[in-house]
C-alpha cells in the first residue's frame, strides 16, 4: 500500500498522453518496488472542488482487482510530486500509482513490429476480452480502449489501463477546457448519439467492443484502419467514415475467423454488435493452436537480445 507520494522516487519517463498526462517509472523507496505513476496536470483554472471530486471518484479504481486490468495502488490529489523539478505553482495534479508493465503498450509494440501475426493478435484479444468482461461485470465502461491503453508485462500478461480515468479527466477538464479526448476509436453511437444512439446506447458497453475491433484490425493491417496510409485521423474525416461511411471491407489477408471477429465488433448498430460474452466464445480466440500463450507473447514483445 502506498500512502504517501513522497515515498516514491522518479526513475524515468515512460510516456506522455494526449496532452494532459505523463507516466513515470517510479521506485517505492521503502520496499524498492517499481511502479508506474500517471500524473495528470490541471491548469490553474481547474476548480479544486472538481479535482477533489475526481479524486474521490477515483477511489473506485482501487477496488478493481483482476489479472486482466491494471491495478491502481493509490490515487493522490496533489502538486507535491511535480513541484520538485517543475515550477508548478497553483493548479493541481491527480496522481495514479499503478502496477508497472515492462513491455510497454500495444502502441509501442505496433510501432516496433508494424503488423502482428494472428496468434499474437488472438492472444491479446482474448486477454482484453477477459478484462472487459470483468470491468463490465462491475458496471464499469472503459470508454478509451486503444493501443496505448493495453499494456504487457514480462510475464506475458496483457492488461487494460486507464479505465474510468478518461471519464474522470474529461469531467474535470470540461470546466477549464473543451476537452475532446481521443475519438479515433470511438463507436458510431458515441460519436453521433442522435443518429446511432437509440434507447440504451448511453450505457456504453457496446462502445468498448467497437474500439477493440478497431484495435484488432489495426494489429492485422499494421496501421490505423479508418484513414489512408500515413494520413492523420482528424475529427471530420473520422466523423464521415464512422458515422456515414460504408461498413469496412474485411482484409483478404486475414483468416476467416479473424475476419468474422472484426466484423462482429465493427457492426455500426450497437444493438446488433457482438457482446463481450459472445466474443469470448468466438473461434478466433478459442482455437487452441492459434491463441498465443503468455510465453509466446513475451517472446514476441520482449525478444531476448
Provide the annotated active-site residues. Answer: 144
| Number of helices and strands in the chain (H, E) | 12, 7
Nearer CB in complex with ligand ATP: 178/288: 178
Which stretch in 26-34, 87-95, 97-105, 111-119 sits in contact with ligand ATP by CB under 6 A?
Answer: 97-105
Nearer CB in complex with ligand ATP: 150/285: 150
- The CA-atom distances, in angstroms, between 164 and each of 54, 142, 149, 174 are 10, 6, 12, 15
Site residues (CB under 6 A) for ligand ATP, limited to 185-244: none
First to last CA, the chain: 34
Site string for ligand ATP, 14-33 (x = CB under 6 A): xxxxx--x-x----------
Distance in Å, CB of 170 to Mg ion, minimum:
13
Residue 89, C-alpha cell as written in the block: 505553482
CB atoms < 10 A from the CB of 264, how many?
A: 18
- What's the chain's Rg over C-alpha atoms? 19
User: Exposed e or buried b for every residue in 219-232, given b needs 16+ CB within 10 A?
Assistant: bbbeebbbeeeeee
Binding stretches for Mg ion (CB under 5 A): 149, 162
Q: Are 281 and 272 within 8 A, CB to CB? A: no
Distance in Å, CB of 168 to ligand ATP, minimum:
11
The residue with its CB nearest to Mg ion is 162
Nearer CB in complex with Mg ion: 149/187: 149
Distance in Å, CB of 238 to ligand ATP, minimum:
16
> Among residues 93, 118, 130, 144, which is the contact residue for ligand ATP, using CB under 6 A?
144
Partner from Mg ion, ligand ATP, none contacting 144, C-beta within 5 to 8 A by type? ligand ATP
Nearer CB in complex with ligand ATP: 118/162: 162
Instruction: Determine the Cα–Cα distance for residues 239 and 235; give it in Å rounded to an integer.
Output: 6
Strands 150-152 and 92-99: unpaired
Distance in Å, CB of 25 to ligand ATP, minimum:
7
Site residues (CB under 6 A) for ligand ATP, limited to 38-67: 38
Instruction: Determine the Cα–Cα distance for residues 232 and 183; give it in Å rounded to an integer.
Output: 12
Contact between 122 and ligand ATP by CB under 6 A: the answer reads no
Contact between 75 and ligand ATP by CB under 6 A: the answer reads no
Distance in Å, CB of 124 to ligand ATP, minimum:
15
Residue 60, C-alpha cell as written in the block: 473506485
Instruction: Determine the Cα–Cα distance for residues 227 and 223; give it in Å rounded to an integer.
Output: 9
Partner from Mg ion, ligand ATP, none contacting 104, C-beta within 5 to 8 A by type? ligand ATP
> Among residues 145, 161, 274, 298, which is the contact residue for ligand ATP, using CB under 6 A?
161
The alpha carbon of 98 is separated from its chain's Cα centroid by a whole number of angstroms, namely 14
The closest alpha carbon to 70, from 171, 1, 165, belongs to 165
Contact between 100 and ligand ATP by CB under 6 A: the answer reads yes
Contact between 116 and ligand ATP by CB under 6 A: the answer reads no
Strands 158-160 and 150-152: antiparallel
Partner from Mg ion, ligand ATP, none contacting 258, C-beta within 5 to 8 A by type? none
The closest alpha carbon to 128, from 169, 167, 163, belongs to 163
Beta partners for 94?
A: 40, 77
Using CB under 6 A, list all residues that contact ligand ATP: 14-18, 21, 23, 36, 38, 70, 98, 100-101, 104-105, 107-108, 144, 148-149, 151, 161-162, 166, 182
Amino acid at each position: 500500500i502506498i500512502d504517501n507520494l513522497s515515498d516514491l522516487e522518479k526513475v524515468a519517463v515512460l510516456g506522455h498522453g494526449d496532452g494532459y498526462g505523463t507516466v513515470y517509472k517510479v521506485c517505492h523507496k521503502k520496499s524498492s518496488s517499481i511502479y508506474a505513476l500517471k500524473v495528470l496536470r490541471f491548469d490553474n483554472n481547474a476548480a479544486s472542488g472538481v479535482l477533489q471530486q475526481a479524486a474521490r471518484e477515483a477511489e473506485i479504481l482501487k477496488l478493481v482487482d483482476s489479472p486482466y486490468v491494471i491495478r491502481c495502488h493509490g490515487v493522490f490529489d496533489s502538486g507535491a510530486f511535480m513541484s520538485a523539478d517543475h515550477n508548478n505553482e497553483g493548479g493541481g495534479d491527480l496522481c495514479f500509482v499503478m502496477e508497472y508493465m515492462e513491455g510497454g503498450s500495444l502502441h509501442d509494440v505496433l510501432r516496433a513490429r508494424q503488423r502482428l501475426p494472428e496468434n499474437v493478435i488472438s492472444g491479446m484479444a482474448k486477454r482484453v476480452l477477459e478484462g472487459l468482461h470483468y470491468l463490465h461485470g462491475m458496471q464499469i465502461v472503459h470508454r478509451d480502449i486503444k493501443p496505448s491503453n493495453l499494456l504487457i508485462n514480462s510475464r506475458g500478461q496483457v492488461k487494460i489501463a486507464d479505465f474510468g480515468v478518461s471519464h474522470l479527466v474529461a469531467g474535470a477538464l470540461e470546466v477549464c477546457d473543451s476537452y475532446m479526448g481521443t475519438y479515433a476509436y470511438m463507436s458510431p453511437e458515441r460519436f453521433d448519439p442522435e443518429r446511432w444512439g437509440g434507447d440504451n446506447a448511453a450505457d456504453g458497453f457496446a462502445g468498448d467492443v467497437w474500439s477493440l475491433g478497431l484495435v484488432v484490425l489495426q494489429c492485422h493491417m499494421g496501421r490505423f484502419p479508418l484513414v489512408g496510409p500515413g494520413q492523420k485521423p482528424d475529427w471530420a474525416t473520422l466523423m464521415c467514415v464512422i458515422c456515414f461511411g460504408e461498413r469496412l471491407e474485411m482484409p483478404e489477408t486475414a483468416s476467416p475467423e479473424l475476419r468474422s471477429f472484426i466484423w462482429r465488433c465493427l457492426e455500426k448498430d450497437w444493438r446488433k454488435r457482438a457482446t463481450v460474452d459472445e466474443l469470448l466464445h468466438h473461434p478466433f480466440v478459442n482455437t487452441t493452436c492459434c491463441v498465443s500463450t503468455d510465453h509466446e507473447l513475451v517472446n514476441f514483445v520482449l525478444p531476448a537480445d
